[in-house]
Chain A
Amino acid sequence: MTETVGIVIVSHSSDIAKGTADMVRQMVGTEVKVAFCGGNPDGGLGTSVPLIIDAINAAWSPKGVAVLVDLGGAETNSEMAVEMLEPARRDLVVVCNAPIVEGAVMAATEAAGGSTLAQVKAVAEELSAD
């Protein structure tokens, strides 16, 4: 099996994160590694840097990982998580400026075809283009 870009979904809500991952799996299948996390370190609404780091490592692929986020803090915490990865992995993770559900589905679809990380990110971010 060829390696594909991994997908990580980071929401403030673990329900949204899991639901988005379920939709990706149903539409794209299991050939793309998908990991998700949601909720703050106490389990309430929010995001958690250690959980994001775990999700990125769980979805890890030598081709890299694309991260889809919902609101502001998810983005800031995801960027922080990327910086705290081991140095060899940092440059192979991108946080996409895209809507979380549509972006995750589009990114995973593109990844399934064997596209590069840059291509996966570009396809997800087309959704945010004017």
Chain B
Amino acid sequence: MSVPSETFKSLVKAAAEQVIASAPELTSLDQAIGDGDHGTNMKRGCEAVLGKLDAISAQPLDEAFKMIGKTLVMTVGGASGPLYGSFFLAAGEALSHDKDLPDDLADVFSSAVNAVSARGRSQVGEKTMLDVLVPVLETLKTAAGQPDLIARVRSTATEAVERTAPMQATKGRASFLGARSVGHVDPGARSSCVLVHAVCAGLEARA
């Protein structure tokens, strides 16, 4: 069993469009604790993905993920490019090695999250996108096969973003602020949540 290419295409489209729509919010979060470019960077990367959407969705699933990753790496222009790029490249790599979707979702997601952690030399609790991706991975593992999996993933992501507000950043540009980073939601965590929510909504719409 694998994900039909039309489903994949619609999910990628929805996720990219949702990030583009969220660009002003991401930028304003990043202006509070970063350098204010996260929204425009992610928008540029997602527009590039949308521009190649036909070519991407014509590929086998593993190659499609790698193409998304490479496109983000080459176009985003901030640290989020290699971070999200590595996420999709690693997911594609996992799919090239006997994994399939949706059956091995937690395994594929785990490989992708590990790649982000390695690329950023970061762990959970450091006020980064990992503070959303890791809890989502835990839910994918513990709620696998449950009828309410999508709803649980969505609420996990929502709650995880809010938990980044009281954290003090020790990685990335926000770490320069030290204690002053406390009280603001992390923009990378927020963009990860936007992506997760868009995929959840897309899957529910097709269910």
**Which chain A residues (30-52) contact chain B, with CB distance < 8 Å?**
40-42, 44-50
The smallest beta-carbon distance between A44 and chain B, in angstroms, is 7
Across-interface contacts of A48 in B (CB, < 8 A): 74, 77
Does the CB pair B79–A77 fall under 8 Å? Answer: yes
- Chain A 38-81, CB-CB to B under 8 Å as 1, else 0, gives 00111011111110000000000000000000011100110110
By DSSP majority rule, is chain B's interface helix, strand, loop, or mixed? helix
Does the CB pair A49–B73 fall under 8 Å? Answer: yes
Query: What is the CA–CA distance of A24 and B44 in the complex, to the nearest angstrom?
Result: 33
The smallest beta-carbon distance between B67 and chain A, in angstroms, is 14
The answer to the question of B81 belonging to the interface, with a C-beta cut-off of 8 Å to chain A, is yes
The answer to the question of A84 belonging to the interface, with a C-beta cut-off of 8 Å to chain B, is yes
Does the CB pair A40–B41 fall under 8 Å? Answer: yes
Does the CB pair B77–A79 fall under 8 Å? Answer: no
The answer to the question of B83 belonging to the interface, with a C-beta cut-off of 8 Å to chain A, is yes
Query: What is the CA–CA distance of A43 and B15 in the complex, to the nearest angstrom?
Result: 26
Does the CB pair B120–A76 fall under 8 Å? Answer: yes
Given A71-B173, A77-B82: A45 touches B120 (CB 8 Å cut-off): no
Across-interface contacts of B139 in A (CB, < 8 A): none
Across-interface contacts of B80 in A (CB, < 8 A): 73
Residue in chain B with minimal CB distance to A47:
B77
Across-interface contacts of A71 in B (CB, < 8 A): 35, 173
Does the CB pair B37–A80 fall under 8 Å? Answer: no
Does the CB pair B172–A72 fall under 8 Å? Answer: yes
Across-interface contacts of B92 in A (CB, < 8 A): none
Query: What is the CA–CA distance of A48 and B72 in the complex, to the nearest angstrom?
Result: 11
Query: What is the CA–CA distance of A41 and B81 in the complex, to the nearest angstrom?
Result: 11
Given A41-B44, A71-B173, A72-B173: A46 touches B85 (CB 8 Å cut-off): no
Does the CB pair A46–B82 fall under 8 Å? Answer: no
Which residue of B41, B80, B83 has the most chain A CB atoms within 10 A of its CB atom? B41
Where the two chains meet, the residues of A that have a C-beta atom closer than 8 Å to any C-beta of B are 40-42, 44-50, 71-73, 76-77, 79-80, 84
Where the two chains meet, the residues of B that have a C-beta atom closer than 8 Å to any C-beta of A are 35, 37, 40-41, 44, 73-75, 77-83, 85-86, 119-120, 172-173
